[in-house]
Structure 1
Amino acid sequence: MNFCKSSYDPATLPPRLQVHQSWWAMRGIGDERGEWSLEKKIANIAEAGYSGIMGRLPAPEEAELWRKLLDQYQLEFGIEAFPEDPDEFGTFLQEAKEFGVSYVNAQVKDSFVVGDAAVKRLSGIIQEGKKWNIPVFVETHRGRITQDLLRTVEYAEALPDLRFTIDFSHYVLAGEMLTSQERAEDCFQQLLKRTSCIHGRISNGQQIQVDIGPAGEHPMTERFLAWWKQGMKNWRQEAQHGDVLPFVCELGPVPYAIDRYGFCTNKMEEISNRWEQGLVLKQLALQAWREVQEDDEAGF
């Protein structure tokens, strides 16, 4: 089974959730003095209580600084990848291994690869992850090989070792599903059985990323929380001591974030505070994990 291993926690610890912040979500984040520096962003991520960052493999000229800061703040580091050719992906994984990456979130190219060709490509990517002993999770994402719900279920049925980064915001948007219909819900539950990572973002069937309010008051929050909790529960049933489930708060900048024209500033402005919204998602994830733990302890 393909699970993320923590570099800092001993393998004797029970299976646990770690909340990570997306580096993409930090784009443009700052204060009245401007966007924070790389160093300040990482310091603030650690101070806010995140356990790690999901970003991209640093460029060679930045690798030493990134490694220093990650070690200084004891942050896990997962990375995004956009693989197409399994052999080329193997070379990428070698670099990731050398840097000390905890896991790889793979948005596999592309949405026009289907059927047996898609299964073959995914199988090759899975095998490369095993070869380099790096957990590789395929993200449920629009515009990728996992373009839609139905074909992704077929891939899961064909590949028992296929593990997912669950991000149902894409399917809710692509299917214009304001609520989960019965047939769609059956498919969602099939994918949740392969949960190895969760991306925290809520969509409403028309926007990929909505502001859920200061305490998650948005009506779609409950639906997404139910999916996240089921994914957590499924993961716990198979996890071993030392295993980690990353929950990544992944609120992207414009055009993911909704913007509007500011008549006072004469420029486009985001309608949400992505940093604050990420902290709301963080608290929701931790609460969901506590509830799953309590249910397991109670035998539910």
Structure 2
Amino acid sequence: MPIKFYAPLWGNALPFDSFCQNVKDAGYDGVEMELPLEQKEKKKVLETLNDHELELIGQYYQSFEADPRENLKSYERYLRHLIAAEPVLINCQTGKDFFDFEANARHFGLAAALSSQSGIPITHETHRGKCLYAAPIAKKYFERLPELRICLDISHWCNVHESLLEDQRETVELALSRTDHIHSRVGHAEGPQVNDPRAPEWSDALQAHLEWWDRVVQRHREEGGTLRITTEFGPFPYMPCLAYTQMPLASQWDINVYMLNLLKSRYKA
């Protein structure tokens, strides 16, 4: 069972070619990112990824429209835009936390149809503000939509529920069983990102996340298929910074490479 690792474009300030060289040198398999809608820029991005022999996970986060019908139209447009680039996977922050079940279910149905037509897997992220923002809400979708597959970013649920989810083990296990993609950010009761997972004060939070990811890895080893992991620690305002100066308390890049090496070592054959 292969595990592949991806760097987030999120937070990068370097020229894209330099970023891709750093990603390759660090030992990643690819990049998770949105794609520009302008075709010339999109082509340039895809050529640069190809030049560095990096895979693409297409990213959709632009769920901005408050009207469910307009949101769905934009969702379809951007998914088709990503599909045309032939990524290995598309990861979506699908729907809205204030849409009703039927409205969000239409998004999932559309994604399932486009995935079936294209052959490109589509996962849906457990992200605040989006459809799967909370454990009990996600459980309803899991129970009624048995084919729903997710990107597990469980750091968001830790923040939403102000805990390491000790009292929601059944729902967490259900989520782990639906996971095909992981965002390996470490959250805590009061935020979606610890300031530095290497710090001893966050050892309990790190261990909880590692144990969740362990169970996903074990299931994929038993069932086969590729598991994809993006080391998605983010920049300000996810990264805590000093007041006034906005100087980050740690290096986003260094933390993500630390997570890459930690998980590669932990899950090596």
Same fold (TM over 0.5): yes
Q: Which amino acid aligns with 2:126?
A: T
State the partner residue of 1:230.
215
Cα pair 2:76 2:110 within 8 Å, conserved: no
Q: Deviations over 1:118-167 (max 9, x none)?
A: 33432232222212221100001110011211010110111111000000
- Unpaired runs of at least 5, structure 2: none
Say which one has the larger Rg.
1
Q: Normalising by structure 2, what TM-score?
A: 0.89
Q: Which amino acid aligns with 2:29?
A: S
Please give the residue correspondences for 1:278-289 in structure 2 after superposition, counting only pairs within 5 Å.
278-289=256-267
State the partner residue of 1:48.
26
Alpha-carbon distance change, 172 to 78 in structure 1, aligned in 2, over 3 angstroms: same
What secondary structure sits across from 1:99 in the alignment? coil
Range that drifts further, 244-253 or 164-173: 244-253
Q: Which amino acid aligns with 1:81?
A: Y
> How big is the shift at 1:217?
6.4
Cα pair 2:95 2:104 within 8 Å, conserved: no
Q: Of 123, 136, 158, which residue of structure 2 is paired with 1:137?
A: 123
Q: Which amino acid aligns with 1:51?
A: D
State the partner residue of 2:92.
106
Q: Of 142, 161, 165, which residue of structure 2 is paired with 1:175?
A: 161
Distance 2:104 2:83 in 1: 26
Q: Normalising by structure 1, what TM-score?
A: 0.80
Q: Does 1:76 align with 2:62?
A: no
Between the aligned residues of both structures, percent identity stands at 22
Cα pair 1:200 1:249 within 8 Å, conserved: yes
Distance 1:278 1:216 in 2: 18
Q: Of 164, 173, 189, which residue of structure 2 is paired with 1:205?
A: 189
Tell me the number of residue pairs that the alignment of Structure 1 and Structure 2 aligns: 260
Q: Does 1:16 align with 2:2?
A: yes
Distance 2:144 2:210 in 1: 28
What secondary structure sits across from 2:23 in the alignment? helix
Q: Does 1:219 align with 2:197?
A: no
What secondary structure sits across from 2:267 in the alignment? helix
> How big is the shift at 1:282?
0.6
Q: Which amino acid aligns with 1:193?
A: S
Which structure shows the higher strand fraction?
1
Cα pair 2:220 2:226 within 8 Å, conserved: no
Distance 1:258 1:126 in 2: 37
State the partner residue of 2:141.
155
Q: Of 151, 173, 177, which residue of structure 2 is paired with 1:193?
A: 177
What CA RMSD, in Å, does the superposition of the two structures yield over aligned residues?
Answer: 2.1
What secondary structure sits across from 2:246 in the alignment? strand
Distance 2:165 2:94 in 1: 25
> How big is the shift at 1:78?
0.6
